[in-house]
Amino acid sequence: MPYRPQLTDAARPATITISATNEHGDAVPTQIAGEHPLTLYLDKREIVTLMTLGGAPEALAIGYLRNQRLVSRLEDIAAVQVDWETDSVAVTTTRSAGDLEERMGKRTVTTGCGQSTMFGDLMDEIEKVSLPAVARLDEDTLYGLL
């Protein structure tokens, strides 16, 4: 059986109901995206606050930490605990990242429609990624995935 860290099950609805006014001036209940802040802690150290709809906050935390290379493998994570009362997620690891302080010291802020912050030498690592020549995706397949 594959390894799975201890996880809370703290998904929340992606939408909230508000009262909107229609073209006739009537109040109408309307569903809108309910984005929430979620502050991520790694071994009791605050890392970042992410904005999320909240559908899979545990997966968001794990994915973010893997993407930023702050956690190398799923097996390095002991537990992921989401608490919406404090808008936080605490991730505990089986072994601490030795160079976490150093990596947190270097930040790259990206621009675009979704500004983001990356930590450490992630940009250097991205330049080393090389896909095999057979890894191709034609336009029809791409549209089929959408």
Closest CA to 62 of 104, 90, 29: 90
The number of domains in the chain is: 1
Q: Is 48 domain-assigned?
A: yes
What local confidence, expressed as pLDDT, does residue 69 receive?
85
SS3 56: coil
At 142 the pLDDT is 83
Q: Which domain holds residue 40?
A: 6-18+30-96
Residue 140 domain flag? no
Assigned domain for 84 exists: yes
Q: Does residue 115 surpass a pLDDT of 60?
A: no
Share of the chain above pLDDT 70, in %: 82
Q: Which of 5-9, 29-33, 87-91, 136-140 has the lowest mean pLDDT?
A: 136-140
The dihedral sign for the CA sequence 143, 68, 74, 132: positive
- Number of neighbours of residue 88 by Cβ within 10 angstroms: 18
Q: What percent of the chain has pLDDT over 90?
A: 51
Taking the model in full, what pTM does it have?
0.71
Residue 44 belongs to some domain of the structure: yes
CATH number at residue 83: 3.10.20.10
